Structure 1
Amino acid sequence: MVTIKDIAARLQVSPSTVGRALADDPRISRAVKQKVAEVADEIGYVANRAAQIMRGVSSNLVGLVVPDIRNSFYSTIAHGLSKCLEEAGYQLTLSETDDDRMTELRHIRELTSANVAGVIIVPSAKPHPSSVRLLKAIPHIQLLRRISALGEQWFGMDDTAAMHQATRHLVQLGHRRIGYIGGLAELPTGAARLHGYRSALANPSAKNDGLVELGPPSSMEFGSEALRRMLDLPKPPSAVVIGSVQITQGVLEELHVRGVQIPQQLSVVGFGDELGFRWWGPGLTTISLPVSELATACGLWFVHQIKHKSVNAAPYSSITPPTLIVRGSTCEFSRAPDGRAARGVSASAG
C-alpha cells in the first residue's frame, strides 16, 4: 500500500509536510500542495479513512437513509443530492430501511461509526430512542417526513395541499363518492395527505364506507388490492384519488387488468408524474412532485450548514408546493335523465 512516506521520499520532504498538504493546511504553499497531489495521483495514494476517523477527523461521507430505493421518488432524490454534494466535495452513501425502525437504527449506527459528515433521513414512523440519541450528536436533516423527536430541520412538500387540490378537482367535476387510497396514517405524510383528502370533500361528515384504504405507501400490491375492494362495493366510487407513487402504479395495473374504461367509468387522480403516467390510457391526471428541486435545495442548504457547523443550531423548514396536472383520466360526473349515475364503475366492472 502506498503511504504518505512514499510521497515524502519522492519529493524529498518530511511526511508531516505531505500530511498537511493533503489536509489542505494553510501553512503549506499552493505550489507544494499541487506537487503532493500530482505525486499522490501518480503513484496511486489513497487516504486511510479508518486512520483519519480514529484521529477524530470527519469523513466526507453524507448518509442518505430512505425507506425504499425501488421507489423512483427516492432514487431521483438520491441522484439530485449526489450531484449537489459531489460538487461540494462530499460523497453520498445510501441506506434502505424498508420503514423498519430496527433496520433504521442499524444503519444510523454504522454511519455514526464511520464518522459521517452528516445524515439526511426520511424517517420511519417511530424511530428507536437510540436512533434519536445518535442523530442528535451529528449534523442531520429530515426529508419529506418530519418527526418532532428528531429535531426541527426539515425539507418537504405540502402533503395536505397536494391531496386537497387533487380531491377538490374531482369535487368540482361533480363527483361525490370519491375513494382515497394512500399511505398509513401513522406516517406524517400519510396523515397529512388523508387530512387533505377529507378537507376537500363536498360533505366531509358524510359516511364514506369503504372509500378510504390505507396501507404501506411503497406497496404496489396494496394499491391493486385496495382498488379491487372499492370496485366490488355495492355502491363503488365514481372517482379515486391516490396518495403515493407506488400505490398509483398498483392501481393503474389493476384498472388495466379489469378493463375499466377511464374516465368513462372511473375518474382517477394519481400521485407523482412518472414518464409512464403521461402515456397511460388517456394520460393520467396527477399530482406532480417537485422532487429534483427539493433534493437540490436540501443538498445546498445542508452543505452550507455543515461547513458552518450550524446544522442543528436552529429550527428550519422548507415547504415546496406540488402541482396538479390535468390530463385525460378525469371527467365530469353526470346523471341520466332518470337520476341514475351515468358515469361510475358498476359492481360487475371487469
Structure 2
Amino acid sequence: MVTIKDIAARLQVSPSTVGRALADDPRISAATKKRVTEVANEMGYVANLAARMMRGVSSNLIGLVLPDIRNSFYATIAHALSKCVQGAGFQLTLSETEDDRMVELQHLRELASANVAGIIIVPSAKPHREAVRLLKMQPHVQLIRRESAIGDQFFGIDDTQAIYDATNHLIELGHRRIAYIGGTDDLPTGAARLRGYQKALEPLPRSGKAGPDLVRLGTPGSVEFGREAIRALLSQANAPTAVVAGSVRITQGVLEELTARRISVPDQLSVVGFGDEVGFSWWGPGLTTIGLPVHDLATACGLWFVHQIRHGESARAPYSSIATSTLIMRGSTRELLTVTRERTSAASRSKSTA
C-alpha cells in the first residue's frame, strides 16, 4: 500500500509537506499541491481514513439519509446532491431508513463513527432522542421534511400551497366531491398537504363540502396504498367526481388502479397527481399534476451545505428555503358538468343494452 512516505521519497520532500499538501493546507503553495496530487494519483495513493479520524480530521464524506430510494422523487434528490458535492470535493454516501426510526438511528451512529463532514437528512416521523443528539453534534441540514427537535436549517417545498392549488383547480371546475389520498399526518409533509386540501374546501358552503369519507391517509411511499384507497373511494354509493394524490408513489398507485378498472379519465373522474414523473405526460389524456422543483431544490441545498461546512457555519444561524410548486395543466381534469353528462350517458347506454 502506497504511503505518504513513499510519495515524499519520490518527490524528495518531507512527509509533512506531502501530508499538508494532500490536506489542502494554506501553508503549501498551489504548485506543490498540484505536484503532490499528481504523483499521489499516479502511485495509487488512498488516504487512511482511520488515521485521519484519530487526528480528529473530518472525512470528505457527506451522509444522505433518505426514507426510500425506490421513490424516484428521492432518487432525483440523491443524484442531484451527489453531483453537487462531488464538484466541491466531497463524496455522498447514501443511507435508506424506510421511515424506521431505529434504522435511522443505526445509520446516524455509523455516519458519526466515520466522522463524516456533515449529514443531509429527510427525517422519520419521530426521530429517536439519540438520533437528534447525534445530529446536533455535527453539521446537518433537513431536506423535504422538517422536525423542530432536530434544528432550524431546512430546505423544502410549500406542501400546503401545492395541494391547495390542486384542490382549488378542481373546485373552479365545479367539483365538490373531491377526494384526497395522501400520507399520514404524523409526517410533517403529510400534515401540511392535508391542510392544503382542507384550506381549499373551507370557503365552500357546508352542504357542498367533502366529508371525511373522501379522505384516505396512509404510507406515502406505497403504490399499493394508492391502489387500495382509490378502489375504496370509487366503491362508495356517492363516489367522488375528482381526486387529488398527495405523493408520487400514491399517484402511481392511483393511475395503475384506474387503468386496471378502465375508468375513463376525465370523463368519469378528474385526477390531479403529485410530481411529474416520466410517463405522466402521456398517461391517458396526460396527467394534470403538481410539478416539483426537486432537482433545483436538492442542488441549492447541496451548494449551501458545502459552503456552510467549509466556513464552519453549519450549526450556527437558522436558515430556511421554501420552494414553490407549479400546477401543470393537462387533460386529466374537466368541468363537473361534463363528468355528470358522461355518467348519465353511460347509465343510459347500460339500460338500453339491458
TM-score range, shorter chain: over 0.9
Task: Answer whether contact 2:274 2:289 (CA < 8 A) is retained.
Answer: yes
**What does residue 227 of structure 1 align with?**
230
- Runs (5+) with no aligned partner, structure 2: 348-354
Check if 1:87 corresponds to 2:87. Answer: yes
Shift of 1:7: 1.1
Task: Answer whether contact 1:285 1:330 (CA < 8 A) is retained.
Answer: yes
Change in CA separation of 1:250 and 1:344 when aligned onto 2, cut-off 3 Å: farther
Check if 1:342 corresponds to 2:305. Answer: no
Task: Answer whether contact 2:178 2:210 (CA < 8 A) is retained.
Answer: no
Looking at structure 2, the residues matched to 127 and 241 of structure 1 have their Cα atoms a distance apart, in angstroms, of 29
Q: Secondary structure at the match of 1:270?
A: strand
What RMSD over aligned residues (CA atoms) do the two structures have, in Å?
1.7
Check if 1:214 corresponds to 2:213. Answer: no
Looking at structure 2, the residues matched to 238 and 67 of structure 1 have their Cα atoms a distance apart, in angstroms, of 33
Task: Answer whether contact 1:166 1:324 (CA < 8 A) is retained.
Answer: yes
Aligned-partner residue type, residue 158 of structure 2: D
Change in CA separation of 1:207 and 1:19 when aligned onto 2, cut-off 3 Å: closer
**What does residue 288 of structure 1 align with?**
291
**What does residue 185 of structure 1 align with?**
185
- Runs (5+) with no aligned partner, structure 1: none
Looking at structure 2, the residues matched to 204 and 137 of structure 1 have their Cα atoms a distance apart, in angstroms, of 51
Q: How many residues are aligned here?
A: 343
Task: Answer whether contact 2:179 2:210 (CA < 8 A) is retained.
Answer: no
Aligned-partner residue type, residue 16 of structure 1: S
Shift of 1:300: 1.1
Q: Secondary structure at the match of 2:149?
A: helix
**What does residue 329 of structure 1 align with?**
332
Task: Answer whether contact 1:284 1:327 (CA < 8 A) is retained.
Answer: yes
Give the structure-1-normalised TM-score: 0.95
Check if 1:279 corresponds to 2:278. Answer: no
Change in CA separation of 1:33 and 1:111 when aligned onto 2, cut-off 3 Å: same
Aligned-partner residue type, residue 69 of structure 1: I
Shift of 1:277: 0.3
Q: How does 1:77-156 map to 2 (within 5 A)?
A: 77-156=77-156
Shift of 1:343: 4.8
Shift of 1:32: 2.7
**What does residue 204 of structure 2 align with?**
203
Percent identity (aligned) = 69
Looking at structure 2, the residues matched to 275 and 84 of structure 1 have their Cα atoms a distance apart, in angstroms, of 23
Looking at structure 1, the residues matched to 297 and 332 of structure 2 have their Cα atoms a distance apart, in angstroms, of 27
Aligned-partner residue type, residue 323 of structure 2: T
Aligned-partner residue type, residue 186 of structure 2: E
Task: Answer whether contact 1:122 1:143 (CA < 8 A) is retained.
Answer: yes
Task: Answer whether contact 1:333 1:343 (CA < 8 A) is retained.
Answer: no
Task: Answer whether contact 1:266 1:343 (CA < 8 A) is retained.
Answer: no
Cα deviation digits, residues 297-333 of structure 1 (max 9, x gap) = 1111111111111112111111100000110000000
Shift of 1:164: 0.3
Looking at structure 2, the residues matched to 285 and 267 of structure 1 have their Cα atoms a distance apart, in angstroms, of 9
More helix by share: 2
